[in-house]
């Protein structure tokens, strides 16, 4: 922040016309102002100032008070002046910071504070005093007293990330922790006996530890690169990734399975924009209630934020719908291939926390709290089904406002009994966020860190904020409650969870494997020599045609031992060695992940593939079926 102090005999100003689009009209008494014997504080807000606005405002107040105490002025005039800097913050953020500075000065100083309007071309007359302290300038660096951030700007125009009030509140929100058990027990977490519950204990330590900073590189990063699934993209902002064919196929299958679950749950699929207007009245209020940092883009001098969820797009659809009591619950679903959160650099950690991600979001309008609890229970079961399909162990957390928990305690305890394992309960003394209750399912990684996948929340604010209503049986218009649900959470984070879980298995000496329906190659055929290659290729086509399985053929000029070892390293679930006996129609020698070989007829191998595949979605092999002609994505 740049500050220019002028101790003035007199200042008067008049706003002539807007310099920034989208500003509301000024009231006549706000467009003009004058002051005698004043300390005029010209200021400009710079990009780096947005790293820690509260700290910066505090230091600006200290500087103004320091100069004021020296010059003994009778009042202070705060005057936004963009010409002090060549590295300006976006107008919206600069305006908010200036308003915070005005409010803090008014609350702190013993003299009146006058503020000139922001974002207008103004005419002014200034008569400065001539003493040595009449003209001073200071520069306040961004951050908590440290240097301005040198991190590259995340979006066009150099705009820094906006931080909602909820983000700041989340850092200081106090809560208590309790362990709920299936028998109805409630024990303060600090007194709970975690014996035999090592993962649950690690989850509790992580949740109450405070820091979310990434330490050493997570195990899944090495695996995702070695297996040519996903990789960093040096040509993009941090937290954005490139997906190779195998990883992209896995991601697509996860997306399709989620969409199937949503359809079976009765959700209607929609699609909404990826950018929204900061100045939309409902959206502006919502931003300060959601704990996420935004990317900002400009279009024709107007500022937009890139969506961090599908919430507001679906709210705006709900607002325009005609809903009757008999229609409820009403469920809308979107698979947002591009959601954006400007996570802090130190929290970025491979696929665990990204800045651009795929988020399947469902929102459900319900009539009242009782219907909300019924729907919450259904979606809790739906999330458990998702986690079973994923095959990854996980821990559960419930987070409630204390008063809501006390009122609905039997409902909460029923959920824990259905879950059948201890659940960590976080209780908030007051409600700050828009929801009163939510749950999360968390897998643990090799470093003992948790990451939320499935979640459902009961929202008590946003239906009213966005003007969503339904017509009751008596004809009266009423406001519903809303449930937010992301059955899998971010799709990318599911790949993280799969890889981290397998890394934990490997650390225990177990063989890693994907769920069969997600394995890039489900069956690999290994011809023992070139004469058997045509038969191996024909068998691959036969199995694929009969089952839809992803079958490839290792036709490289390598020995069988090497081919088996490479199939093991690629986590291929089923491997067939194809030689003379297989060529003449004898049973196939099928090797599983346990390393054992079994003789299976062609009919038996087809039946096994169909059994393993089940009702999960299918996708074709993402690469050429012959290994000898496959490109290598990572050298």
pLDDT reported for residue 142: 66
The pLDDT mean for the chain works out to 90
pLDDT of residue 309: 87
pLDDT over 50 at 159, yes or no: no
Inter-residue contact 142 to 151 (CB < 8 Å): no
Measuring CA to CA, how many Å separate 502 from each of 67, 84, 172, 294?
A: 61, 55, 35, 33
Confidence band of 146 (pLDDT split at 50, 70, 90): very low
Residue 6 has pLDDT above 60, yes or no: yes
Average pLDDT, integer, range 149-169: 39
- In the numeric block, which tokens belong to residue 474? 């008596």
| CATH hierarchy code of domain 516-629 | 3.40.50.800
Mean pLDDT of the 534-542 span: 97
Per-residue pLDDT, averaged over 558-571, amounts to 96
For the segment 587-592, the average pLDDT, to the nearest whole number, is 94
State the average pLDDT over residues 421-440. Answer: 92
The pLDDT value recorded for residue 210 is 54
Say yes or no to pLDDT of 29 above 90.
Answer: no
CB-CB contact of 364 with 482 (8 Å): yes
348 compared with 396, residue with greater pLDDT? 396
Q: How many percent of the chain have pLDDT more than 90?
A: 73
pTM of the model: 0.76
Q: What is the dihedral of CA 365, 366, 368, 372, to 10 degrees?
A: -110
pLDDT at 532: 97
Q: How confident is the model at residue 156 (pLDDT cuts 50, 70, 90)?
A: very low
Alpha carbon 147 to its chain's center:
28
Q: What dihedral do alpha carbons 230, 232, 235, 240 form, nearest 10°?
A: 80
pLDDT tens figures, 165-174: 454 455 556 7
* pLDDT for residue 144 is more than 50: no
> Domain spanning 168-211+223-498 has what CATH number?
3.30.930.10
3-state SS of 3-71 is EEEEEEEEEEEEEEEECCCCCCCCCHHHHEEEEEEEEEEEEECEHHHHHCHHHHHHHHHHHHHHHHHHH
Q: Tell me the pLDDT band of 400, cut-offs 50, 70 and 90.
A: very high
Which residue would you say has higher pLDDT here, 151 or 440?
440
Tell how strand 330-340 and strand 268-269 pair up.
parallel
pLDDT on residue 150: 29
pLDDT for res 491: 96
Q: Averaged over 263-271, what is the pLDDT?
A: 96
> Region 23-32: what's the mean pLDDT?
83
Which of 18-27, 428-437, 453-462 has the lowest average pLDDT?
A: 18-27
Q: Comparing 167-171, 183-187, 289-293, 412-416, which segment has the lowest mean pLDDT?
A: 167-171
What is the mean predicted confidence (pLDDT) over 177-181? 96
pLDDT digits (tens, 9 = 90+) for 121-133: 999 999 999 888 8
Per-residue confidence (pLDDT) for residue 215, from 0 to 100: 60
pLDDT one-digit tens code per residue, 597-630: 999 999 999 999 999 999 999 999 999 999 999 9
The reported pLDDT for the residue numbered 27 is 83
The answer to whether 168 and 421 are in contact (CB under 8 A) is no
Asked whether the predicted pLDDT for residue 202 surpasses 60, the reply is: yes
Dihedral sign of CA atoms 221, 222, 227, 230 in order: positive
Q: What is the pLDDT of residue 157?
A: 35
Which of 3.50.80.10, 3.40.50.300, 3.40.605.10, 2.60.40.790 would CATH assign to domain 2-150?
3.50.80.10
Q: Which of 344-353, 588-597, 605-614 has the lowest mean pLDDT?
A: 344-353
Question: Cα–chain-centroid distance for residue 533?
Answer: 47
Whether residue 285 is predicted with pLDDT greater than 80 in this model: the reply is: no
Rounded mean pLDDT of 207-235? 85
Cis geometry, peptide bond prior to residue 393 (ω within 30 degrees of 0): no
Q: Where are the domains positioned within the chain?
A: 2-150, 168-211+223-498, 516-629
Specify the pLDDT at position 161. 41
SS3 353: coil
Closest CA relative to residue 411, chosen from 373, 458, 440: 373
**Phi, psi angle pair for 516, to nearest 5°:** -55, -40
Q: Above 50 in pLDDT, residue 155? A: no
Instruction: Please report the pLDDT score of residue 504 as a whole number.
Output: 95
pLDDT in tens, 74-94: 999 999 999 898 888 888 888
Asked if residue 164 has pLDDT above 60, the reply is no
Quote the pLDDT of residue 595.
Answer: 87
The residue among 152, 354, 337, 340 whose CA lies nearest residue 241 is 354
Looking at residue 603, what is its pLDDT? Answer: 95
**Band of pLDDT at residue 575, cut at 50, 70 and 90:** very high
Segment 481-501, tens digit of pLDDT: 999 999 999 999 999 999 999
The predicted pLDDT at position 93 comes to 84
């Amino acid at each position: 922040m740049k500050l220019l102090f002028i101790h003035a005999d007199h200042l008067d100003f008049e706003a002539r016309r807007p310099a920034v689009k989208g500003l509301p009209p000024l009231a006549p008494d706000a467009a003009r102002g004058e002051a005698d014997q004043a300390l005029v504080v010209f200021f400009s807000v710079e990009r780096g100032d947005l790293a820690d606005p509260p700290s910066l405002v505090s230091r600006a107040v200290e500087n103004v008070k320091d100069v004021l105490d020296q010059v003994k002025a009778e009042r202070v005039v705060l005057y936004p002046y963009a010409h002090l800097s060549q590295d300006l913050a976006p107008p919206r953020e600069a305006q908010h910071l200036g308003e915070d500075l005005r409010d803090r000065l008014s609350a702190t100083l013993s003299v009146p504070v006058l503020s000139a309007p922001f974002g207008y071309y103004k005419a002014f007359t200034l008569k400065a005093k001539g003493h040595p302290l009449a003209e001073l300038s200071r520069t306040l660096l961004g951050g908590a007293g440290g240097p301005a951030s040198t991190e590259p700007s995340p979006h066009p125009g150099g705009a820094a990330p906006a931080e909602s009030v909820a983000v700041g509140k989340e850092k200081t929100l106090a809560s208590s922790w309790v362990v709920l058990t299936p028998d109805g027990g409630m024990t303060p977490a600090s007194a709970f006996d975690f014996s035999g519950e090592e993962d649950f204990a690690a989850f509790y330590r992580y949740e109450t530890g405070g820091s979310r900073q990434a330490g050493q590189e997570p195990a899944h990063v090495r695996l995702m690169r070695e297996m040519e699934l996903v990789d960093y993209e040096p040509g993009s902002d941090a937290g954005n990734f490139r997906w190779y064919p195998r990883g992209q196929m896995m991601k697509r299958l996860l997306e399709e399975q989620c969409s199937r679950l949503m359809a079976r749950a009765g959700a209607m699929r929609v699609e909404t924009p990826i950018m929204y207007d900061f100045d939309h009245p409902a959206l502006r209020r919502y931003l300060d209630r959601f704990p996420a940092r935004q990317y900002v883009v400009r279009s024709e001098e107007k500022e937009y934020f890139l969506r961090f969820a599908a919430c507001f797009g679906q709210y705006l659809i709900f607002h325009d719908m005609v809903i009757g009591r008999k229609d409820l619950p009403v469920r809308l679903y979107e698979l947002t291939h591009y959601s954006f959160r400007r996570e802090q650099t130190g929290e970025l950690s491979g696929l665990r926390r990204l800045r651009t991600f795929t988020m399947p979001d469902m929102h459900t309008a319900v009539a009242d709290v009782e219907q909300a609890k019924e729907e919450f229970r259904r979606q809790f079961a739906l999330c458990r089904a998702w986690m079973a399909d994923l095959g990854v162990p996980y821990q559960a957390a419930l987070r409630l406002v204390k008063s809501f928990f006390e009122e609905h305690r039997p409902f909460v305890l029923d959920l824990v009994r259905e879950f059948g394992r201890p659940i960590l309960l976080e209780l908030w003394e007051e409600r700050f966020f828009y929801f009163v209750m939510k749950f999360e399912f968390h897998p643990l990684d090799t470093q003992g860190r948790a990451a939320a996948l499935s979640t459902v929340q009961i929202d008590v604010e946003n239906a009213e904020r966005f003007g969503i209503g339904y017509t009751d049986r008596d004809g009266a218009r009423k406001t519903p409650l809303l449930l937010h649900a992301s059955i899998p959470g971010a799709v990318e984070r599911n790949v993280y969870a799969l890889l981290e879980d397998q890394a934990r298995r490997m650390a225990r000496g177990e063989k890693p494997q994907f769920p069969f329906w997600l394995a890039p190659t489900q069956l690999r055929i290994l011809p023992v020599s070139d004469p058997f290659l045509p038969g191996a290729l024909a068998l691959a086509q036969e199995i694929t045609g009969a089952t839809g399985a992803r079958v490839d053929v290792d036709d490289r000029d390598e020995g069988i031992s090497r081919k088996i070892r490479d199939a093991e390293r690629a986590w291929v679930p089923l491997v067939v060695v194809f030689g003379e006996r297989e060529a003449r129609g004898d049973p196939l020698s099928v090797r599983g992940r346990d390393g054992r070989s079994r003789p299976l007829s062609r009919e038996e191998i087809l039946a096994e593939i169909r059994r393993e595949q089940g009702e999960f979605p299918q996708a074709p092999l993402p690469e050429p079926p012959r290994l000898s002609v496959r490109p290598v994505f990572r050298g």
